[in-house]
């Protein structure tokens, strides 16, 4: 991807982020609801923008060429950041669970879907490590 193409993609991503962010804000102020599809869309755009800034390519938007090889630094960054992000996600889900459970003052009701997500974050890394170890044994 040339510098000119990267600048164009960055510009388009920023326009998309601002447009979807504006729609989410407009929807929230008009109907007092948060557009979950808008949040999903904006997260993809932000992830693509961050990946473009980090590695100079975007795999979320189909810009990843199969023939391109990852260099050692990129592989190291991906390996270290994936484990850190796993534990960061676990902490974020725990904080959201705690706020949703005890923020309302209703300690009798449990947000079961959110509790299932938290439990899944606890089990995911060991399960994936188990599957990968079976591949190499």
What pTM, to 2 d.p., does this model score?
0.64
Quote the domain boundaries for residue 9: 1-68
Q: How many domains are there within the chain?
A: 2
Chosen domain end from 68, 95, 121: 68
Kindly list the distances between the CA atom of residue 75 and the CA atoms of 17, 20, 55, 99, in Å, as whole numbers in the listed order: 28, 32, 11, 36
What pLDDT score does 44 carry?
Answer: 87
Give 57's DSSP letter: -
- Which residue is listed with tokens 């923008």? 49
Higher pLDDT, 71 or 82: 82
Contact 64, 58 (CB under 8 A): yes
Average pLDDT of the residues in 59-66: 55
Chosen domain end from 68, 101, 126: 68
Asked if residue 107 and residue 49 are part of one domain, the reply reads no
Closest to 58 in 3D by CA, of 68, 69, 47: 47
User: Can you list the alpha helix ranges (DSSP code H) found in the chain?
Assistant: 3-31, 36-55, 72-102, 112-136
């Amino acid at each position: 991807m040339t510098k000119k193409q990267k600048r164009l993609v960055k510009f388009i991503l920023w326009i998309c982020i601002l447009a979807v962010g504006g729609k989410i804000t407009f929807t929230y102020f008009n109907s007092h609801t948060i557009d979950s599809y808008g949040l999903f869309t904006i997260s993809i755009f932000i992830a693509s923008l961050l990946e473009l800034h980090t590695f100079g390519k975007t795999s979320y938007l189909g810009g990843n060429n199969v023939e391109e090889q990852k260099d050692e630094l990129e592989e190291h960054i991906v390996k270290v950041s994936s484990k850190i992000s796993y534990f960061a996600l676990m902490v974020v889900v725990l904080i959201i669970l705690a706020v949703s459970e005890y923020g309302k003052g209703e300690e009798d009701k449990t947000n079961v879907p959110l509790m299932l997500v938290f439990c899944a974050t606890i089990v995911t890394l060991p399960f994936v490590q188990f599957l990968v170890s079976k591949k190499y044994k």
